[in-house]
Structure formats: structure tokens, C-alpha cells
Amino acid sequence: MIVKLKVNGETRSADVPPETTLLKLLREHLNLTGAKLGCDVGDCGTCTVIVDGESVNSCLMLAGRASGREVTTIEGLASSEQLHPLQEKFEELGALQCGFCGPGMIISAKALLDKNPEPTVFEVKDALSGNLCRCTGYTKIIEAILDAGRIMSTAEAKS
């Protein structure tokens, strides 16, 4: 089955067995290993990507269902000039430890901040509730997201 979709702004296609998940398509066929396989059943959130503006557990979505749609993965956030404010703040505040939950966390945060750049602490916690982290206790992750949000809304206001 040929799946053709836009990933990080670029049209990509692959010929995959019909039972292939979007996660496996990204990791094994498109060489985008940022999204992780933590449980494969939608419990841990390490596979989170954005599909048509909504954050999604890519292990629960069949690749075929993503055909023709726009997917954003962690690999699509930085430019050749700079990191995304989330990536900048996560690094500066030491928000990630082992990093395995990182791509999923940052993507969930991006999906939130793109819609709501000045969330409350509760709104951030709620947006992250599907992303498990065992190392950090979520504390610095939440601080980094709030900081990144401030940068993004200031940039938004300026432009």
C-alpha cells in the first residue's frame, strides 16, 4: 500500500504493509526516529506527533489514515538558524533527563502553545497528561513550556 503524506512540510511516500502504524512508517520507512516506541498501545505518549494540527499517538494511527495529511514530528521544529523556543528552553532549564519522553513532550507542548501561547499551569499539565515521564517529575518540563510560551507570544506580538 502506497502512503503519501506531508511530513514536516515535505511530501513523502512509502510502500508499506496495510497494518503499518504511522509510528512505524515514520521510524522505519522515513528514517525519522524522533518519535519513540514506548508501549505501542497509546499509553505512554512517546510516539506523539501532530497530524493536521492535533497531537496524536502515532502508534494508534494506521499509516493509511495519515495519507494526504500534514504531519509534524520533532524533526520539523528547528530551522537551520535556530532551535524552536521549546527546544531552547528545555535545554536551558535542564527539563529533560534521559530524553526518551522528550520528543513526545515537546510535540504535545507545541500543539498546546500553537493554540494557546499563554496557558495556565493546569492547562499545561492537562496537555501533557498523556505523556509519561519517569525521570523528571514533570516540574522543569512545565517551567520550560511556560517560558517558551512567553517567548512565542512576544514574538507573535512583535510580528
Q: Cα angle at 15 between 12 and 18, to 5 degrees?
A: 115
Q: Using an 8 Å Cβ cutoff, are 146 and 124 in contact?
A: yes
Instruction: Extract the C-alpha cell encoding 74.
Output: 520533532
In the bound state with other proteins, the residue whose beta carbon lies nearer, of 53 and 137, is 137
| 3-state secondary structure (DSSP) of residue 9 | coil
Q: Using an 8 Å Cβ cutoff, are 5 and 66 in contact?
A: yes
Residue 59 makes contact with other proteins by CB under 8 A: no
Q: Which of 2, 18, 54, 80 binds other proteins (CB under 8 A)?
A: 80
Phi, psi of 153 (to 5 degrees): -75, -30
Binding mask 18-57 for other proteins (x = CB under 8 A): ---------x----xxxxxxxxxx-xx-x-----------
Residues contacting other proteins: total by CB under 8 A: 62
List of residues contacting other proteins (CB under 8 A): 8, 10, 27, 32-41, 43-44, 46, 73-75, 77-83, 86-88, 90-103, 106, 124-126, 128-142
